């Protein structure tokens, strides 16, 4: 059971162990069944890596979340702009708001595009968002559900001021544990398969040396 680190990508076993394994592999018929020593095919390796990357990307809580009060604050603030207040109708007012907000570097344009609202919506949620802002509430902790602005259904860590974070982080300790799991999985499988004879060798099944 000797180890060798001369060529770890080929095998981690020393020559004596490799020879012993080869003989056993060729001699032994497991109920008439045999196994080949083919490498894990390259497309399979790529698929596994793609799966790992996808597993993280697709589970980050960035999708499917409700919009926050913070997201619509630039819209609500723009409602007080004279251009908006003097608009002939709601359509013009909304266009004016979108034009003003489009020049605001702090607005989250990508999310606003995915959560379109009308002037009627803004008339309902606007006063609620302004009231929260007047009380110095963390607007990101409030979600907009239809005509209502409500505290988000998520309980995170406490801030120094005693309030609780109610925004789902894009990374949490669950993902850190996943990294730990993946690390030891890949390490264990690597060690396991690299202890076998190198893939350049294929067994001649049923072959018994004198």
Partner 1 sequence: MFKYLLAKNEDIPHGASAVYWGFSAIVWFVIGTGLGSFNAAKLAFPDFVTGYEFLAFGHMRQVHVHAVIFGWISMAFGMAMMYITPALGNTRLWSEKLGLWNAFLWNIGLSLGLVVLWAGMTSGREYSDFPWFIDLYIITFMVVPLGVNVWMTIINRRTQGIYTTNWFFGAATFMLAIVFTVGNLPEFFHLTGLTEAYLTWWFAHNVLGLWITPVAAAIAYYTIPKVTGNPLYSHRIGHLHFWSVVVFYSTPAAHHLMSAPLPEWLKSFASVEGVLILVPAIAFVSNILLTMQGKWNMFVENIEVRFTVTGCLMAIPLNMQGGFQQTRAINWYIHGTGWIVAHAHLALLGFSTFLEAAAVYLGLQSMMRRKLYSLTLANIHFWLLLIGFTTYWVSMTIAGLIQGAGKIYEVPYIDVVIAEHPYMIARWIGGTLVFVGNCFWLYNMWMTARAGTEVPQGRMPHELAYER
Q: Which of 1, 6, 64, 116 binds partner 1 (CB under 8 A)?
A: 64
Q: Is 63 in the site for partner 1 (CB under 8 A)?
A: yes
- Find the Cα–Cα–Cα–Cα dihedral 192, 183, 154, 75, rounded to 10°: -130
Q: Is 42 in the site for partner 1 (CB under 8 A)?
A: no
CA distance 68 to 113: 14
Using CB under 8 A as the binding rule, the residues of this chain from 143 to 162 that contact partner 1 are: 154, 156
150, β-bridge pairs: 143
**Cβ-based nearer residue to partner 1, 28 or 121:** 28
Handedness of CA 198, 199, 200, 205 (dihedral sign): positive
Least distance from C-beta 11 to partner 1, angstroms? 12
Q: Which of 15, 16, 19, 172 binds partner 1 (CB under 8 A)?
A: 172
Q: Is 121 in the site for partner 1 (CB under 8 A)?
A: no
Least distance from C-beta 55 to partner 1, angstroms? 4
CA distance 115 to 97: 15
Instruction: Report the first-to-last Cα separation within the chain, whole angstroms.
Output: 23
Q: Which of 83, 104, 121, 178 binds partner 1 (CB under 8 A)?
A: 178
In this structure, what are the phi and psi dihedrals at residue 193, rounded to the nearest 5 degrees?
-85, -20
Among candidate residues 151, 123, 117, 122, the one with its CA nearest the CA of residue 135: 151
Q: Rule CB under 8 A: which residues touch partner 1?
A: 24-25, 28-41, 44, 47-48, 51-52, 54-56, 58-59, 61, 63-64, 154, 156, 168, 172-175, 177-178, 181-182, 184-185, 188-189, 192-193, 196, 199, 203, 205
């Amino acid at each position: 059971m000797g180890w060798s680190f001369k060529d770890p990508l080929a095998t981690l076993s020393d020559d004596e162990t490799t020879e012993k394994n080869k003989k056993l592999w060729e001699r032994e018929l497991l109920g008439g069944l045999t196994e080949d020593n083919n490498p894990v095919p390259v497309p399979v390796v790529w698929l596994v890596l793609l799966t790992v990357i996808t597993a993280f990307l697709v589970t980050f809580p960035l999708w499917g979340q409700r919009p926050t009060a913070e997201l619509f604050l630039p819209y609500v603030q723009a409602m007080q702009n004279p251009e908006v207040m003097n608009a002939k109708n709601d359509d013009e007012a909304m266009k004016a708001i979108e034009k003003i907000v489009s020049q605001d570097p702090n607005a989250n344009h990508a999310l606003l595009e995915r959560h379109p609202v009308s002037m009627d919506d803004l008339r309902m949620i606007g006063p609620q968002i302004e009231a929260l802002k007047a009380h110095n509430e963390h607007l990101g902790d409030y979600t907009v559900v239809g005509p209502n602005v409500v505290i988000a259904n998520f309980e995170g860590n406490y801030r120094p001021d005693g309030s609780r974070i109610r925004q789902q982080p894009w990374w949490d300790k669950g993902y850190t544990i996943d990294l730990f799991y993946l690390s030891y999985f890949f390490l264990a499988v690597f060690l396991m398969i690299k202890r076998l004879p190198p893939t350049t060798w294929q067994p001649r099944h049923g072959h018994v040396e004198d």
